[in-house]
């Protein structure tokens, strides 16, 4: 019997399109295109299909989450600054009930006080933070493990 391929939606929120330009001391010198390539390459050995989405607009992210219902088996989300206050994104994730892993390039628990709170974590099966691009690979691995159960 062939191994099932799961379809994963990877959502990146505001300012992640500025990777390599925005605060390289925190986020590194690699670009958003580099991140996309890394995610695609990480999905291959896991036999996961990935669709990538990035937006600086909260409503567009919510629309993408809602549109994922019935199309995707899991979601990896880096909500950017929306992590700390977007109950609307948290509500959308809760509504669709698609297993979700929250990921952050930096360790938000070791940054400014306002970054320490995540309203997304309570609706996620796991949170990966502070591992750079490799956090996305770990998020994909966590999702695959959860989906295979």
pLDDT in tens, 69-113: 999 999 999 999 999 999 999 999 999 999 999 999 998 888 778
**Would residue 1 count as lying in a domain?**
no
Q: What is the pTM of this model?
A: 0.94
Q: Are 61 and 102 in contact (CB under 8 A)?
A: no
Positive or negative CA dihedral for 108, 109, 115, 118? positive
Q: Return the SS3 of 31.
A: coil
Which residues are identified as catalytic? 27, 104
- CATH code for position 136: 3.40.50.9100
User: What average pLDDT score do residues 44-59 get?
Assistant: 98
Q: Looking at the 3D structure of the chain, how many domains does it have?
A: 1
Structural domain for 60, as ranges: 6-148
**Would residue 122 count as lying in a domain?**
yes
């Amino acid at each position: 019997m062939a191994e099932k391929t799961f379809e994963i939606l990877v959502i990146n929120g505001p300012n992640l399109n500025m990777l390599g330009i925005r605060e390289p001391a925190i986020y590194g010198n690699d670009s958003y295109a580099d991140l996309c390539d890394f995610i695609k390459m990480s999905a291959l050995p896991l036999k996961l299909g990935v669709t990538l989405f990035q937006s600086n607009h909260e409503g567009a992210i919510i629309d993408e989450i809602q549109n994922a219902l019935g199309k995707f088996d899991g979601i990896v989300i880096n909500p950017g600054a929306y992590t700390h206050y977007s109950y609307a994104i948290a509500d959308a994730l809760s509504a669709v009930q698609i297993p979700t892993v929250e990921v952050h390039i930096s360790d938000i628990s070791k940054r400014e006080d306002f970054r320490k709170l995540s309203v997304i974590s309570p609706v996620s099966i796991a949170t990966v933070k502070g591992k750079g691009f490799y956090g996305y690979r770990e998020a994909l691995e966590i999702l695959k493990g959860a989906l295979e159960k």
